[in-house]
Structure 1
Amino acid sequence: MIEELRIRDLGVIAEATLEPSPGFTAITGETGAGKTMLLSALDLLLGGRADASRVRVGAERAVVEGRFTSVPAAAVARAEDAGAELDDGTLILARTVVAQGRSRAHVGGTSVPQAVLGDIGEQLVTVHGQADQFHLRSRATQRDVVDAFAGPEHADLLATMRTTHAALRRAEQALAEFTANSRTRALEVTTLTAALAEIDDAEPQPGEDLALREEVDRLDNVEVLRSGASEAVVALSGRGADDLGAVDLLEASARALNRAAEHDPSLGALAEQIMDSSRVVADLNAEIGTYVAGLESDPRRLDVVHARRAVLATLGRTYGVPWAERGPQDPPAGSTDAVILWARHARARLDELTGPGQDPDTLREQVAELGAEAAAVATRVTAARRAAGDRLATAVTAELAGLAMASAQVEVALDPVVVGPTGADDVAILLAPHPGAPARPLGQGASGGEISRVMLALEVSLADAGEATPTTFVFDEVDAGIGGRTASQVGQRLAELARTAQVVVVTHLAQVAAFADHHIVLEKDTGAPDGTVTSVRAVSGDDRTAELARMLSGETTATALEHAADLLERSDVGR
């Protein structure tokens, strides 16, 4: 519910504060007084498009701020998701439009994108104006009205319909892509199969190319290796009986220390360490000797290694490339490890192309199953819509009887269409304005006044059914094309709607305004120093009677005042 609406420097409104009542508030004023700008302010607050031209001439920015109470849970959740906070259950929305720059939106003191205001606003307020009359002519809007009237269980069914249809569309797309790319897929399968057969036939091992390179280097340099190792053996063991090597020298050193150790025990410990070193050197000498004995030229093995390296080099040039973009941990390009990694990715891709479900028959079965499921859900949606449409038509027809359309008959027609995310129905609300007249869609032949009354009857019916989510309704031009007794009946219906929701009506008709609990008048001052200025004031008592008289005759004559007083006396329904 709107508790307060503050406007500054928006169009002809320099500064204004509106405090609608919880029930029915009528807003009136002469043409050009700023009633349209008032609705523009509300539109901005609810996430509408910002227009810098609406900023008052000479001002830097226009600001609109609204305080809302009795905030629906969905709006609270969306506001909290955006980081906003409520103050004692009160939600504050604000919008700033800069003459030169971008607009800004705030929810609960937190800056938010414009779209967030729209998400919250649709939970708070329903605005009906001339544009909404156009929307009501839309079949999609009429379908949404019937769906809303059908209740929460139907809403759950529609969610299932959307989910099922989305799955069907994905399956159809997968089949279409499979069919369109069948030749490309077959070529890719053939290419990957041949590549993996070539790699598997070679059986490359991790790090094999590096190991073979080391072996080639060893086989190509056998004499160099033998000479170096032999010299090491001689140095460790000596050349002959009279030529001492490292082992002999270490042992002699240990013996000398042991002879002197009787005079200093610490030399014995050193001698033991030298003997340990002697044994290590002796072991090394033996290993080097074994190495030298095993060195021999092997031309045949060298040919085998060269041939193997050639095979691996060919694989490396062909497949030793990154599968996709190279990663920091990938092995060097052209290496055997790179070939093994490429084969791993290729095998995964081949499994993806040839795995279960990757054939046209399986995809066609999925499409058929999901199509049958979607059709079954659509049948349930149609049945629920038909039942809700009949109930809604009865309720709206009854409401129209009280809006000077006693002979009018409303019907809800469902025409079959291809199954889609909303079901398989084209929904049309039909109106027969009088007996004998054919029932025609609202967009064909219904006048603006008739659509206004149908719109009001729909809202009253939705509210009576408990399906009117927002707690506030704003009506503009709901009295278009009507007058006299019909206008009084519209006012009465608005007052009845205000028993369960806040209703704000911008009206030109005294017969409608007379039913309001609270009356606000917009007045323009064309003699203000800075141009036309609109003021906002609440009227009651004699001031309200005078305003109704002005609306009736354009003047506050005695007759007009008497007529206005009579209207107020007779319009006590809902006040």
Structure 2
Amino acid sequence: MLEELRITGLGVIDDTTLRLTTGMNVITGETGAGKTMVVTGLGLLFGGRADAGRVRADPGRAVVEGRLRLSGAPADAVTTRITDAGAEVDDDGTVLLSRTVTIEGRSRAHVGGRSMPVAMLGEVGEQVVAVHGQSDQLRLLRPAEQRAALDRFAGPEHEKLLETYREAYSRWRTVVDDLADRRRNARERTQEADLLKLGLDEITRVDPQPGEDDELRAEVQRLEHAEGLRVAAALAAQALTGGMEVTDETPDATQLLGTARRTLEAQATVDPALGDLAARIEEAATLVDDVSAELSGYLSALDADPARLETIYERRAALRALTRKYADDVDGVIAWADHARSRLALLDSSDELLDELDRERQRLAGTVAELAARLTAARVEAAGRFSEAVSVELAGLAMPHARVEVAVVPRAAGKDEPAVPAEDRDLGVGPDGADEVELRLLAHPGAPSLPLQKGASGGELSRVMLAIEVVFAGAGGPPTLVFDEVDAGVGGQAAVEIGRRLARLARTHQVLVVTHLPQVAAFADRHLVVAKDTGGAVTTSGVRIVEDTERARELARMLAGLPDSDLGIAHAEELLAVAGREKHQ
């Protein structure tokens, strides 16, 4: 839920903070006071289009900040997306969002204290908030959202079936696209495969081994300098142990170390420190012996065979021929060969493989068709339940003869899109099934069934959308719902019913309502008033919470335009009492 919203420099709002609560938050105020700027600020905060014309000249930028508490179904998805982008969620489970728009039209966004693309705010907004208003592109007027909403309404078992279908559809499309590509590009694939085979044949004949070029380079260096290496190793061995032919009377290192150790050990009883040094000399003598043994082995293995050197020269020439064509080194050549083998498997356009892929395509098509038929049946059943539930709600909203229908119609296959053969026709399947879903309204008996946006007036559409949201309330969707004067064109008992249903919706969602109807405002859990200040050189507006008698005065103003009228206040108090009883039923 949205706990707090601060708006600075937007329209008539100079600097104000809205502290929101769970349940139903109502925003009221005089015409032109800036109520709509609150909804505009929400739109900016959640990635909406920035309009530089709404930015106040002083201070020259508009800033909208919000504290969002992540809870409920979308919390995990939003948290994961935010943390993957490098932002942080606070320890108390909240995250700070910010949007800045300058008077020049530049826009910046921050999430969790980190600069982000504005699109990130939009991604978060899709998960946590839905805005309804007569001037908005309403979410539930989009066919894809209507289908998704019906799927949520159908229940968890239906959503599991939908997930199973999507997996099968993905496998089928992969095979279909692969088969079509192999058939369409058979000539190009064959040419590429021939080139890869030539390269693989050349590499296979040479048979390079991992790291072989480095090993051969080192061996060549040893063979080319074999005499110098032998002399150095022999002299070193002679100096250490005298094991080689001695040309002078100088004692070797082993003899000198032995003399030093024995001399110190003779005095170790007088000073133990000399005994410790003697022990360390003994360790050095042991190390000298080890080195001497390794030098002897090195001399024995040292090879100066000219034939071996010539063989290595030839081998290195063969490896260089490969590295000139395929990679910078032998390991790269081996990697190229591995990739070529994998690519060859993908390029295979043999009749045998094509027949095998075609059989797999047909098998998966049958699975997709069967699952799509089950999805259609489930949607038709859910559409009937949904239609009845919404029609009941409409009767309570002063539209007793109206009826909402959910049309589940076959989906037409798109251009260049494969279809799935079924018993009586080819199915135009997509990632969500073989159906298009459309909400339609019958405004009165005998009226044609028309899409919502064509079959309802502004006031009717507001009530229809509210009835739909009430029915969908238990079927998931964003946890915060914003209604911007959806009660326009409504009055009397219908207004009371709108307030009652918004209050019912607020039992499971956070609801923000911008309204001009006191019958609706009376049901609020928190009532905020946008007030205009014309005392200065520039008109500004701010938002404050009203409670108790002040709230009754605001309702009286909405009822009769007279906040100090005793009769108006009495009527307002009666409204509050009725709403209070309704909310606790």
> Structure 2-normalised TM-score?
0.69
Post-superposition Cα deviations, 1:322-379, rounded to whole Å, max 9, x if no partner, equal 66xx5321699xxxxx9x9999987776555448887432232232222222212212
Paired position in structure 1 for 2:120: 116
Deviation at 1:453, TM superposition (A): 1.4
Say which of 524, 532, 538 aligns to 1:524: 532
Contact 2:208 2:330 in 1 (8 A): no
Q: Which residue of 2 aligns with 1:441?
A: 451
For the pair 1:160 / 2:167, whether they are aligned, the reply is: no
> What does the per-residue CA deviation read over 1:248-286, in whole Å, with 9 as the maximum and x for residues that have no partner?
xxxxxxxxxxxxxxxx9979xxxxxxxxxxxxxxxxxxx
Cα deviation, residue 506, structure 1? 0.3
Identity among equivalent positions (%) equals 49
Question: 2:79 matched to which residue of 1?
Answer: 76
Distance in 2 (CA, whole Å) between partners of 1:491 and 1:341 is: 69
1:87-114 per-residue CA deviation (whole Å, 9 max, x = no partner) reads 4233332222333574333333333333
1:503 Cα deviation from its structure 2 partner? 1.5
Amino acid of the structure 2 residue aligned with 1:436: G
- What one-letter code is carried by the residue in structure 2 that aligns with 1:366? E
Q: Which residue of the other structure, out of 358, 364, 385, is the alignment partner of 2:379?
A: 385
Q: Corresponding residue for 1:540?
A: 547
1:67 is matched by which residue type in structure 2?
A: R
| 1:370 and 2:364 are equivalent in the alignment | yes
Q: Distance in 1 between matches of 2:7 and 2:506?
A: 24
Aligned letter for 1:548? L
CA distance in 2, matches of 1:100, 1:106: 19
Q: Which residue of 2 aligns with 1:61?
A: 61
Partners of 1:344 and 1:410 lie apart in 2 by: 61
Matches within 5 A, 1:96-115: 96-100=100-104, 102-115=106-119
Matched residue, 1:470:
478
Aligned length: 464
Shift in alpha-carbon separation, 1:101–1:510, aligned structure 2, 3 A: closer
Task: Read off the aligned partner of 2:369 and give its amino acid letter.
Answer: A
- What one-letter code is carried by the residue in structure 1 that aligns with 2:123? D
Task: Output one character per residue of 1:475-527: Cα deviation in whole Å (capped at 9) or x when no partner.
Answer: 11211232221111101111122223222100122222122232211122344
Partner of 2:238: none
Distance 1:131 1:160 in 2: 38
Q: How does 1:141-540 map to 2 (within 5 A)?
A: 141-188=145-192, 326-329=326-329, 352-354=346-348, 359-417=353-411, 418-463=428-473, 466-529=474-537, 531-540=538-547
1:447-490 per-position Cα deviation (integer Å, ceiling 9, x unaligned): 22222112111221122xx3234332211121123222111110
Contact map agreement 1:71 1:124 (CA 8 A) in 2 = no
SS in 2 for 1:504: strand
> How far apart, in 2, do the equivalents of 1:178 and 1:428 lie?
38
Does structure 1 retain, via aligned residues, the 8 Å contact 2:182–2:349? Answer: no
CA 1:170–1:345: 2 relative to 1, 3 Å: closer
Q: Deviations over 1:400-421 (max 9, x none)?
A: 1211122222222211221111
Segments of 5+ residues of structure 1 without an aligned counterpart are: 208-263, 268-286, 292-308, 333-337
Q: Classify 1:71/1:97 alpha carbon distance in 2 versus 1 (closer, same or farther; 3 Å).
A: farther
Quick check: 2:51–2:105 contact (8 Å CA) kept in 1? no
Following superposition, the deviation at residue 187 of structure 1 comes to 4.6
In structure 2, the CA distance between the partners of 1:355 and 1:420, relative to structure 1 (3 Å rule), is: closer
Structure 2 match to 1:574: 583
C-alpha change, 1:30 and 1:373, in structure 2 (3 Å) is same
- 1:7 aligned partner: 7
Structure 2 unaligned blocks of 5 or more: 210-246, 251-303, 308-313, 412-427
Instruction: Say which is worse superposed, 32-41 or 145-154, in terms of deviation.
Output: 145-154
The answer as to whether partners of 2:443 and 2:455 remain within 8 angstroms in 1 is no
In our comparison, the structure showing a higher alpha carbon Rg is: 1
> Following TM superposition, by how much is the alpha carbon of 1:22 offset from its aligned partner in structure 2, in angstroms?
2.2
Q: How far 1:132 sits from its partner (Å)? A: 5.0
CA 36–197 in structure 1, closer or farther in 2 if over 3 Å, else same: closer
Task: Give 3-state SS (helix, strand or coil) of 1:521's partner.
Answer: strand
Matched with 2:557 is 550
Matching residue of 2:39? 39
The letter of the residue matching 1:550 is R
Decide whether aligned partners of structure 1 residues 358 and 112 sit closer, same or farther in structure 2, where only a CA change above 3 A counts: farther
Normalised by the length of structure 1, the TM-score is 0.70
SS in structure 1 at match of 2:583: coil
Whether the 8 Å CA contact 1:192–1:350 is kept in 2: the answer is: yes
Q: Please tell me the root mean square deviation across aligned C-alpha atoms, in Å.
A: 3.9
Distance in 2 separating the partners of 1:115 and 1:387: 37
